[in-house]
């Protein structure tokens, strides 16, 4: 049935409207630990101008962010910090894994480096490269925006789909210093 709408009236679904708002106001939480972080900084600088895509408001408080960008290798010691920041970010939230190291451990095939952050937190977009160029990160943000618009719901039903429910390992807590000392010296 055709509707005779008055001028300047647009009909849409609430899901579509919420997704449109969310995708155009992504606030990144930078988790830059190595060389990829330099490319992340370049992405936010004037030459590449991330503001064109509404995602330039980098915040260093997880409670104000909804897009985690992990740029660089993550060592096991740093993992609890990464997971805690991720947990402190409010839903809905998304994650981009930037570069070979964050996605797979890269050339650091060793016990001390996390062999892919998706073993511990959910990842929405992977950016290949060592390091990826800013244009690649921008493309990942655009792809993520398309995904948010396509799948997003106002109450976050897309986050409870089976395909998004990966088995994520629990928070890794480091032993506190006194435990280390007593392990080395049982007399302590």
106 binds ligand SF4 (CB under 6 A): yes
99 binds ligand SF4 (CB under 6 A): yes
Q: Which is nearer to ligand SF4, 39 or 66 (CB)?
A: 39
> What is the 3-state secondary structure of the chain?
CCCCCCCCCCCCCHHHHHHHHHHCCCCEEEEECCCHHHHHHHHHCCCCCHHHHCCCCCCCCHHHCCEEEEECCCECCCHHHHHHHHHHCCCCCEEEEEHHHHHHCCCCCCCCECCCHHHCCCCCEEECCCCCCHHHHHHHHHHHHHHHHHHCCCCCHHHHCHHHCCCCCCCCCCCCHHHHHHHHCCCC
Piece in contact with ligand SF4 (CB under 6 A), picked from 45-53, 93-101, 109-117, 178-186: 93-101
- List the interface residues with ligand SF4, window 57-76 (CB under 6 A): 72-73
Q: Which is nearer to ligand SF4, 131 or 152 (CB)?
A: 131
130 binds ligand SF4 (CB under 6 A): yes
- List the interface residues with ligand SF4, window 13-42 (CB under 6 A): 34-36
Residues that bind ligand SF4 (CB under 6 A): 34-36, 72-73, 99-101, 106, 130-131
């Amino acid at each position: 049935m055709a509707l005779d709408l008055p001028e300047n009236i647009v009909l849409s679904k609430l899901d579509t409207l919420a997704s449109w708002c969310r995708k155009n106001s992504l606030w990144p939480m930078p988790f830059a630990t190595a060389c990829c972080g330099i490319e992340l900084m370049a992405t936010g600088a004037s030459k590449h101008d991330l503001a064109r895509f509404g995602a330039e408001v980098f915040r260093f408080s997880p409670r104000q962010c909804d897009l985690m960008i992990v740029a660089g290798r993550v060592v096991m010691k740093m993992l609890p910090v990464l997971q805690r920041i991720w947990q402190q970010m409010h839903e809905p939230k998304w994650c981009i894994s930037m570069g070979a190291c964050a996605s797979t451990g890269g050339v650091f095939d060793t016990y001390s480096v996390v062999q892919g952050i998706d073993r511990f937190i959910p990842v929405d977009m992977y950016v290949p490269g060592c390091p990826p160029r800013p244009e690649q990160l921008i493309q990942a943000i655009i792809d993520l925006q398309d995904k948010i618009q396509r799948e997003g719901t106002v109450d976050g039903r897309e986050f409870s789909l089976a395909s998004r429910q990966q088995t994520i390992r629990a928070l890794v807590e480091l032993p506190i210093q006194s435990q280390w000392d007593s392990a080395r010296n049982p007399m302590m």
